[in-house]
Amino acid sequence: MLSRLQLIDQIKRKKTFLCIGLDPDIQKIPAFLQQYADPVFEFNKRIIDATKDLCVAYKPNAAFYESRGIKGLQSLIDTYKYLPKECLSIIDAKRGDIGNTSDQYAQAFFNEEASGMGFDAITVTPYMGNDSVTPYLKYEGKWVIILALTSSAGSKDFQYLTTEHGHLYEAVIQKANTWAGADRIMYVVGATKSEEFTSIRKFAPDNFLLVPGVGAQGGSLEDVCKYGMTKDCGLLVNSSRGIIYASNGEDFADAARSEAQKLQLQMQEELEKAGVI
Ligand SMILES: O=c1ccn([C@@H]2O[C@H](COP(=O)(O)O)[C@@H](O)[C@H]2O)c(=O)[nH]1
């Protein structure tokens, strides 16, 4: 478990707010890893070893594990257990369902005794409302990360619809703020939406924002920081493919480290510029 204060402290100490996405596509990981009993776990393990001083969070996306059935689930459990305890562990599962079903999802990802996994945080979709999200909040100290404005092109289909509380993504934030405070709730906002960060900060001045979309999706780290950074940083910026697939040779972990280092150095500059460190 990682509290808001511990997260902020780690950001200041390591001079980074990088979240590394562990999205291992079995087709893309280096061929030489196939000799290991679990190539996916071996891949993740080496990425983690090479980058853990450069980031504050890791985010395995459940799809990349669930798509491989039982083997994938075992890779996910082993990866969860290998994550450094000082880093925030986020399962990007984007779940959302009625209350008793959400109870089961919460147990699957939060209750280590029951499932083998005790992630610190989970991404959830907000559209089924309060009763679909509160089951996760019953787990003291765990984080719920609610999809607000996603990085996808399709975000335009629903998230910008006008409501009496502003755009739908703004209405989502205002409502979710009534469920728990900035010590338990974060929001997903895509880096490709940097022009919306100012309006998002009006409704979520203190919440951490999980920001995917830099690197492979083309979002600008500089713009995200310009419009989204708070006095406590308030940002976890994710990169997955840009780091983990920097090379598909035997040097993949070193290549991942140098991509992560580039982001860390830019982040350090932004933290200094904003007076966070
Ligand atoms: O709005 C969203 C929400 C989640 N994601 C996820 O983040 C990573 C991004 O990966 P990259 O390789 O750095 O593009 C991936 O797991 C997505 O499912 C997102 O991109 N946008």
CA nearest ligand 1 atom 1, residue: 150
User: 233: which DSSP letter?
Assistant: B
| Residue 24 maps to a domain | yes
Which tens digits make up the pLDDT trace of 150-173?
A: 999 999 999 999 999 999 999 999
Q: Count structural domains, the chain.
A: 1
- How far does residue 103's CA lie from ligand 1's centre (Å)? 25
**For residue 215, what pLDDT is reported?**
85
Confidence band, pLDDT 50/70/90 cuts, at residue 1? confident
Q: Report, as an integer, the average pLDDT of 15-32.
A: 97
Whether 24 is in the pocket of ligand 1, judged by its Cβ within 6 Å, is no
Verify whether ligand 1 is closer than 6 Å to residue 92 (CB atom): yes
Place of tokens 């997955």: 240
The answer to whether residue 277 sits within a structural domain is no
What the block records as the tokens of 88 is: 């925030």
Which parts of 205-268 are beta strand (E)?
A: 209-211, 235-239
Which of 15, 94, 175, 226 is flagged as catalytic?
94
Determine the atom of ligand 1 nearest the C-alpha atom of 92: 16
Task: Return the bridge partners of 124, or none.
Answer: 95, 146
Nearest to 58 by CA among 82, 22, 4: 22
The count of residues in the chain is: 277
14 inside domain: yes
pLDDT at 78: 98
Q: Which residue's CA is minimally distant from atom 18 of ligand 1?
A: 61
Task: Classify each residue of 179-218 as buried b or exposed e, where b means 16 or more C-beta atoms within 10 Å of its C-beta.
Answer: bbebebbbbbbbbbbbebbebbbebbeebbbbbbbbbebe
Q: Whose CA is nearest to atom 7 of ligand 1?
A: 212
CATH number of domain containing 44: 3.20.20.70
Contact 232, 276 (CB under 8 A): yes
39-54: pLDDT as tens digits: 999 999 999 999 999 9
Residue 134: its pLDDT value, please? Answer: 96
Q: What percent of the chain stands above pLDDT 90? A: 98
The gap from C-alpha 249 to its chain's centroid, in whole angstroms, comes to 26
Tokens of 34: 């196939």
- What pLDDT shows up at residue 216? 86
Which residue spans within 96-160 are E strands per DSSP? 121-124, 143-149
| Structural domain of 39 | 4-272
pLDDT of residue 84: 98
DSSP state of 250: T
For the full predicted model, state whether its pTM sits above 0.90.
yes
Does the beta carbon of 125 lie inside 6 Å of ligand 1?
Answer: no
Closest by Cα among 196, 255, 227 to 51 = 255
Tell how far the Cα of 137 is from the centroid of ligand 1, in angstroms: 23
Mutate to test the pocket of ligand 1, among 66, 151, 188 (most ligand atoms within 8 A of CB): 151
Cβ burial of 26 (10 Å; 0-12, 13-18, 19+) is middle
Let me know if residue 116 belongs to a domain. Answer: yes
How does the average pLDDT of the chain come out, rounded? 97
Q: Which residues pair with 189 in a beta bridge?
A: 149
For residue 10, report the distance from its CA to the centre of ligand 1, in Å.
23
Asked whether 190 lines ligand 1 (CB < 6 A), one says yes
Share of the chain above pLDDT 70, in %: 100
Handedness of CA 263, 269, 273, 275 (dihedral sign): positive
> Active site includes 94?
yes
Weakest mean pLDDT among 6-10, 193-197, 226-230: 193-197
Q: Are 122 and 108 in contact (CB under 8 A)?
A: no
- State the Cα–Cα distance between residues 212 and 63, nearest whole angstrom: 16
* ipTM surpasses cut 0.95: yes
| pLDDT higher than threshold 90 for residue 102 | yes
DSSP symbols for 11-34: HHHHT--EEEEE---TTTS-GGGG
